[in-house]
Amino acid sequence: MTRLTCTIDTWPLASAFNISRGAKTEARTVTATLTNGSHVGQGECVPYLRYGENVEGVAETILSLGAEIEAGLTRTDLQLALPPGAARNALDCAFWDLEAKQAGQRIYERLRRSPPPPLTTAFSLSLDTPQKMAEAAAAARHRPLLKVKLGGNGDEARIKAIRAAAPEAKLIIDANEGWTKDNLAENVAAMAAFGVTLIEQPLPADNHDALRGFESPIPICADEACHGIASLAPLIGLYDAVNIKLDKTGGLTEALAMVRPARDMGFGIMIGCMVGTSLGMAPAMLLAEEHDIVDLDGPLWLKQDRKFGISYEDSSMNFPTADLWG
């Protein structure tokens, strides 16, 4: 019999993380744990208010399946039992971890894949004044890929200051829905002038029609507009790439299933994350073969990661041991 438990954990950040929708000084995660005899599987999620989620509600949703899991609900059953989102992500990843441990295999062996190679992740620069963002960029200028959080007014000054501070770094930007159709063209032109190579979610996901027919010199990536497989087709003609995050897809199972349809529709693929621990990053690393851009720097923002966390060497990250996951 498989038993389910769930915990809510708080992870203080090393510094405040600001985006266009606000700031956070801690990451709150929900961990699902499945225990069957001597085998234990875990999965982590980060509920996101933008999608109507909070940690208490997600934990309640996870625990509501306890009796069904004891009665034999499987990972396959889970895909229909819950919609895409944080709750399903934690349970889905916990099932994958438990299945691997029961089989005495690493998760990539069960997927008939090679061990994930070291990945180079983007490193995020939190939204702030141009001067403070330039200081952060200067401190991170040795990293090959910087992801810049922007938010509307003053973004040209921010990217100009960042480019001056980190002239060799590849830059991608994330507006987090902070631009409007009125400043879209102006902001895109400014990003192009300073060598930005990708723009993530410039307009609100529910008001992005201005992207249709807009000729951008820089590829535009859907984040808040992209969730599970069903969300892909409506994005054709609006975006050039999609950001696959397990907290949005509802776990590794649907994320793996999204890759081929996304490619077939012509989308580039970013593998992204919320700010969380290595337990939330490890499953996403299994999408390594499919990525164009990796953005899995969540643990780098924490004062302290989980035990047996992913080993980061600057921006290079290595798949963890089974002590953590998989």
Return the active site residues. Answer: 149, 245
218 DSSP 8-state letter: S
**Chain position carrying tokens 């164009």:** 292
Question: Which tokens is 194 given?
Answer: 């300073």
198: its two tokens: 């990708």
Amino acid at 235: L
Contacts of 97 (CB under 8 A, 6+ apart): 34, 40, 41, 42, 43, 107, 325, 326
Burial of 208-245, coded b for 16+ CB within 10 Å and e otherwise, reads: bebbeebebebbbbbbbbbbbbebbeebeebbbbbbbb
- Burial call 22-60: b when 16+ CB within 10 Å, e when fewer: eeeeebbbbbbbbbeeebebbbbbbbbeeeebebeebbe
Q: If you ran DSSP here, which 8-state letter would residue 175 be given?
A: -
Residue 164 exposure: Cα atoms within 13 Å on the Cβ side? 12
CA dihedral 247, 249, 253, 259 (to 10 degrees): -120
State the helix-helix crossing angle for 155-165 and 184-193, rounded to 10 degrees.
10
How far apart (Å, rounded) are the C-alpha atoms in residues 18 and 2?
Answer: 40
Report which of 296, 286, 293, 291 is spatially closest to residue 317, judged by C-alpha positions: 296
CA–CA distances in Å: residue 21 to residues 17, 35, 178, 188, 275? 11, 38, 8, 20, 15
